[in-house]
Structure 1
Amino acid sequence: MSETKSLNQTLAEFQANRAKTMDPSALKINVQQRQLLIDTADRSGFVKAGDKVDAFTLKEVGGAELSLRQLLATGPLVLVFFRFEGCPACNIALSYYNTHLAAAVKELGATLVAVSPQVPERLVGIKERHDLDFLVATDFGNDLARKFGILYSYDEPSRQAALAKGTPIGDVTGTGTWELPMPATIVIDQTSTARFADVSPDWLVRTEPDNVIEALRLIGERAAA
C-alpha cells in the first residue's frame, strides 16, 4: 500500500508539472510574485498563537451569517484562508482537507470554515466541485484577513499580466481590489484565543492536516485538565 502524499508534496508535484507546459513568461511572473511575498512579508504583523480574536461575521456561500460566537458555540474553530474559487492550488488544498482533515475536525468537536474574500455567488463553485464537507464563507472586504495581517496585493507585473488577459483579480473575486489573503490556518479555542496560527506568503505552501489535528487535541487536553 502506497504512503499518502503530504499536501505540500502534492502541491510541489502540481507546480513541477505545470512548469513544463506553462508559458515561460507567465511562469516567471508567478515565481517572482511568490518570491517577492516570501522576501517582503511582514511576519511580525501575522496573527499568532495567543492572540485574542475579536468578534467577526462571515457569510456562508448558502447565505447564512456565521458569527464567531455561533462558530464557537459547540467547540473550537478552524479557519482556513484561501485566495479564490479558481485558484488551482486552493482547489488542491481544499480537496485534500476534505479527504484528510474534515472528518478529524468533526471528531474533535470543532468546526472547519474555509474563507475567501470572493463574493458568495462566485465562491460556491469550489464547494460544489469537491463536495466539501465543511463550511465555505466570504470575508467581505477582506476585513478579517486584514485584522489577521495576512493580506497581500498583486505586484505590478502580475497586475499587468492580469489586465492583458482581461481578468483583474478584483473582477474575478467581485471585490474590485487587487488584495488577496495569504494562505493561513488559524485554530481558535472557545475563549476566542488563537491557539495555532500558520501563515504562508507562498500560496504553494499550505498547512498540513496533522498540525491542525495536533492543535485541536492540545485544546481538548487543556480543557480537560
Structure 2
Amino acid sequence: MTTATTTITDRVAEMHATMATQPANETMGAFGRERAELATAGLPAGIAPVGTVVTDAALLDPHGAAITLYAATGTGPAVLAFYRGAWCPYCNITLATYQAQLLPQLTHRGITLVAISPQAPDGSLSMQDKNHLAFTVTSDPGNSIAGQLGILTAPSRDARAAQLQLGLDLTMVNADATVTLPMPTTVILDADHVLRWIDVHPDYSTRSEPRQILDALDQLAL
C-alpha cells in the first residue's frame, strides 16, 4: 500500500525482500544481472541537455485515439514520466506512488503529469485501470520522444530470453513491434516545452522519487 510517507525505494525493497524468499532460478537471476550491468554502465552518451526544446510528437491515448505531446502537456509546465510498460513491476510501483503522492502536489501547482511508454494503447489502459491513475497515460509508438531525449535502451540477450520464458514478448507489447524501451526517466518541461530538468535511471529498479521532482520544481520556480 502506498502512503504519504512510503517511498518508491521502500516499496521496491519490500518487493525484493519477498522475491528473496523464493527459490533461486535462472530466469530471475538474468534480470538481476541485467540491472547490475546497467547500473555499472551508468548514463548513456547523448542524453538531451537542459535547454533543449522538446518538439511535438504524435501519441496515442489509452483508447487508441491520436493525441500530441503538446496537447497532452497543455499550456503550462509539465512533468513527463517515461516508463517501460504495464508488465514492469517497478513501473507499477512508481506510477501508483506518483498517483498517491505526486499528482496532488502537481495539481495544486497547476502542473500536468503525463506518463509515456512505447507499449500499445491497451497496455496504457491496463496501467491506468490497474493503478487507478487520474493523470494522462499515453503510448509513444516508436519511442519518438524518448529518442529525442537520448534515453533508449533494450533488454540484454539473457533478459530477453528470460522475458520470453515468462511469456513476455516485447515485440507483441510495444506499438512498433520492437524490443526498444526508454530508460525510466523523469523530465520537467516549462510552458515553452523547454527541457528544464531530466533524471535518467539506467537501472530500472530505481526511479525519481516524488520529493526529488517537487524539489526540482521548487528550484526552478515552476
Normalised by the length of structure 2, the TM-score is 0.89
Alignment pair present for 1:217 and 2:214: no
Q: CA 1:133–1:36 in structure 2 vs 1: closer, same or farther (change >3 Å)?
A: same
Number of equivalenced pairs: 220
Q: C-alpha distance in 1, partners of 2:64/2:135?
A: 15
Residue in structure 2 matched with residue 21 of structure 1 by the alignment: 22
Match of 1:33 in 2: 34
* Sequence identity percentage: 32
Match for residue 133 of structure 1? 134
For 1:173 and 1:19, the matched residues in 2 are separated by 30
Aligned mates of 1:6, 1:167 — CA distance in 2: 28
Taking a change above 3 Å as real, the CA distance of residues 199 and 63 of structure 1, as seen in their structure-2 partners, is same
Name the residue aligned to 1:76: 77
2:143 partner SS: helix
CA distance in 2, matches of 1:7, 1:163: 27
By how many angstroms is 1:192 displaced?
A: 1.6
Q: What is the RMSD of the two structures over their aligned residues, measured on CA atoms?
A: 2.1
**Residue of structure 1 in register with 2:49 after alignment:** 48
TM-aligned CA deviation for residue 140 of structure 1: 0.6
Q: Is residue 119–residue 139 contact of structure 2 (8 Å, CA) maintained in 1?
A: yes
Which structure 2 residues correspond to residues 1-225 of structure 1 after superposition, within 5 A? 4-21=5-22, 23-220=24-221
The verdict on how the C-alpha distance between 1:47 and 1:192 changes in structure 2, with shifts beyond 3 A counting, is same
Q: Distance in 2 between matches of 1:95 and 1:72?
A: 20
Per-residue deviation, 1:118: 0.4
Identify which range, 81-90 or 71-80, moves more after superposition. Answer: 71-80
In the alignment, the residues of structure 1 paired with residue 187 and residue 61 of structure 2 have an alpha-carbon distance, to the nearest angstrom, of 18
> Does structure 2 conserve the Cα–Cα contact (< 8 Å) formed by 1:118 and 1:173?
yes
What is the letter of the counterpart of residue 56 of structure 1?
Answer: A
Contact 2:78 2:113 in 1 (8 A): yes
Letter in 2 for 1:43: P
Structure 2 unaligned spans of 5+: none
CA deviation map 1:70-122 (0-9, x unaligned)? 34543101100111112111111110100000111111111101111001023
1:52–1:192 contact (8 Å) kept in structure 2: yes
Deviation at 1:219, TM superposition (A): 4.0
Describe the superposition over 1:35-78 as per-residue Cα deviations: whole angstroms up to 9, x where unpaired: 22223355332233322212223222134433233345431011
Unmatched tracts of structure 1, length 5 or more: none
